[in-house]
């Protein structure tokens, strides 16, 4: 057992100290910081910008109301009222002005507007202008039929609509939203753990083979112990890295919310209605998912003898994760389909898809239990098989990366006596 911890510690520390790890962690932290402060960053670029829109009102009735209304929602606009249409179009073409809005009246008295601009892909501006005009029109019409403010408010109040599930223990709407948010985050986390760290294990094993230090290692510690020590070492590494991202993300978002209102951190993500069991499941599935793919990566890594051969070797595994990810993304919107149900029992997909189901639906416990047993069983199977292949694979030096090698590795590693 002593050697097990030595390898774990060595894997963890040497990987932690590599430049590439430190740099990539640094870059990720910067990205997390930028994402968390995205609003501030965007504002920083947009602050100075005043947008000028020429409004040519052929009816003469809308222009003042329109200006008032627009200023209330977004004061970064400047309205030019008395522009000549041709001159205005010239100014728009030269980039000085944003666009020209021409308002006319249709036969029924409903206003009709034409917006001319160089940037018709800027949907946010167009939508803002459109909704502003609609609102002004509504104001004008309600005034004409002499409704008071109360009546107007009532008119626009949406009908009350409540969803009640008749299923027992069903999740409330807020719970479902919370679950969706968490599932979404977890899917990404699991996906990145599997893609990133499993690849790291595979290349770690392959690089030890390349440098041939493996021969010395297998003579002092059993390959199986070594394999699991490595998996644990990289797992520790992933905790440190993920922990760093989460801490940075947590503090910068709390900082951000602190500036605004009295929203609680969990509310911000809609996590407040979440059940404890969902978090427990998240942890269980993330760990088992990691273990499943880590074991697979370790033995795939032991089959190649050069780091360059790693990529083609682990591509099928990566594809598996990607497929699981795509299915679960589809499942987020519609978790109760047969496809999702079936996939949630297939071990390579279970960590993502069964988690999606338990997070969003009320899944009978036996189903969760069964999928966990299947997943665990396949991890054990993979570990036993992996250990055998690993034992033989680390002694095999060839350029091949085929199934034949797998067989060869098995014969080499066969226990005889």
Partner 1 sequence: MSLKIANATKRFGSFTAVDHIYFEIDKGEIFGFLGANGAGKTTTFRMILGILDPTEGEITWNGKKIDYSISGQIGYLPEERGLYPKLKVSEQMVYLASLRGMAKKDTLRELDFWLEKFRIEDYKNKKVEELSKGNQQKIQYITSVIHKPDLLILDEPFSGLDPVNVDLLKEAILYVKNLGTTIIFSSHQMDHVEDLCENLCIMDRGKPVVQGKLKEIKKDFGRKNLTIHADFDCSDLKNLRGVTNYQTTAEGVRLQIIDETVVQQIQEMIFSRGFIRKFQLDEPSLHEIFIEKVGTKHA
- Kindly list the residues in this chain that would bind partner 1 in the complex (CB under 8 A): 2-3, 6-7, 10, 14, 18, 208, 211-222, 395, 397, 411-412, 414-417
Residue 100, strand partner residues: 54, 116
CB of 308 to partner 1, least distance (A): 15
Cα R_g (the chain), whole angstroms: 30
- Count Cβ atoms within 10 A of the Cβ of residue 244 and give its class: 0-12 exposed, 13-18 middle, 19 or more buried: middle
Least distance CB 372 / partner 1 (angstroms)? 33
Q: Which is nearer to partner 1, 304 or 340 (CB)?
A: 304
- Which residue, 25 or 222, is less far from partner 1 as judged by CB? 222
Closest contact distance (angstroms) between CB of 310 and partner 1 is 17
Based on CB atoms, which residue is closest to partner 1, 19 or 259?
19
Nearest residue to 285 (alpha-carbon basis) of 358, 192, 202, 199: 358
Other beta carbons within 10 angstroms of residue 51's beta carbon come to: 15
Q: How many C-beta atoms lie closer than 10 Å to residue 235's C-beta?
A: 20
Give CA–CA dist 204/62, Å, rounded: 70
The pair of three-digit structure tokens given for residue 302, joined into one six-digit string: 């032991």
Q: Which is nearer to partner 1, 293 or 390 (CB)?
A: 390
What strands lie across the sheet with 51-57, from one edge to the other? Answer: 77-80, 51-57, 99-105, 111-117
- Asked if 332 and 167 touch (Cβ cutoff 8 Å), the reply is no
Residues 6 or more apart whose CB falls under 8 angstroms from that of 51 comprise: 76, 77, 78, 98, 125
Query: From CA 139, how far away is CA 65, in angstroms rounded?
Result: 9
Instruction: Report the residue number, 18 or 104, with the smaller CB distance to partner 1.
Output: 18
Q: How far is the CB of 239 from partner 1 (least distance, A)?
A: 22
Cβ pair 92, 118 in contact under 8 A: yes
Identity of the residue, 330 or 397, whose beta carbon is nearer to partner 1 in the bound complex: 397
DSSP classification of residue 192? H
Using the minimum distance from each CB to partner 1, give the nearer residue, 57 or 204.
204
| Cβ at position 2, least distance to partner 1 in Å | 7
Which C-beta is closer to partner 1: that of 57 or that of 208? 208
CB of 14 to partner 1, least distance (A): 7
Close Cβ partners of 363 (under 8 Å, ≥ 6 residues apart): 354, 357
d(CA 177, CA 112): 39
Query: Closest separation between CB of residue 3 and partner 1, Å?
Result: 5
User: In the complex, what is the shortest distance from the CB of residue 412 to partner 1, in angstroms, rounded to a whole number?
Assistant: 7
């Amino acid at each position: 057992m002593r050697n097990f911890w030595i390898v774990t510690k060595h894997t963890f520390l040497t990987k932690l100290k590599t430049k590439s790890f430190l740099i990539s962690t640094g870059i990720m932290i910067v990205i997390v910081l930028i994402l968390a402060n995205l609003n501030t960053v965007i504002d920083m670029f947009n602050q100075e910008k005043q947008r000028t829109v020429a409004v040519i009102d052929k009816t003469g009735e809308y222009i003042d109301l329109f200006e008032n209304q627009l200023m209330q929602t977004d004061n970064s606009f400047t309205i030019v009222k008395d522009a000549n249409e041709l001159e205005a179009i010239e100014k728009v073409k030269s980039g000085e002005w944003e666009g020209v809005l021409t308002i006319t009246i249709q036969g029924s008295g409903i206003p009709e507007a034409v917006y001319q601009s160089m940037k018709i892909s800027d949907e946010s501006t167009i939508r803002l202008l459109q909704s502003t005009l609609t609102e002004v029109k509504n104001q004008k019409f309600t005034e004409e039929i002499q409704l008071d403010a109360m009546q107007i408010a009532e008119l626009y109040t949406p009908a009350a609509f409540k969803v009640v599930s008749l299923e027992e223990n069903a999740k409330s709407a807020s719970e479902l939203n919370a679950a969706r948010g968490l599932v979404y985050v977890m899917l990404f986390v699991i996906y990145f753990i599997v893609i990133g760290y499993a690849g790291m294990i595979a290349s770690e094993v392959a690089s030890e083979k390349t440098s041939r230090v493996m021969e010395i290692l297998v003579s002092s510690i059993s390959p199986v112990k070594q394999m699991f020590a490595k998996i644990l070492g990289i797992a520790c590494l992933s905790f440190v890295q993920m922990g760093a991202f989460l801490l940075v993300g947590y503090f910068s978002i709390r900082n951000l919310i602190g500036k605004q209102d009295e929203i609680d951190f969990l509310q911000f993500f809609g996590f407040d209605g979440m059940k404890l069991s969902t978090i427990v499941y998240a942890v269980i599935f993330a760990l088992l998912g990691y273990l499943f793919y880590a074991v697979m990566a370790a033995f795939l890594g032991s089959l190649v003898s050069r780091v360059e051969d790693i990529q083609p070797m682990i591509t099928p595994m990566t594809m598996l994760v990607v497929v699981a990810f795509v299915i679960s993304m589809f499942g987020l919107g519609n978790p109760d389909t047969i496809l999702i149900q079936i996939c949630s029992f297939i071990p390579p997909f279970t960590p993502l898809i069964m988690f999606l189901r338990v997070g969003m639906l009320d899944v009978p416990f036996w189903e969760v239990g069964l999928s966990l047993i299947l997943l665990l069983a396949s991890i054990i199977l993979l570990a036993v098989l992996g250990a055998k292949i690993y034992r033989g694979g680390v002694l095999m030096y060839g350029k091949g990366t085929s199934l034949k090698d797998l067989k060869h590795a098995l014969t080499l590693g066969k226990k005889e006596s």
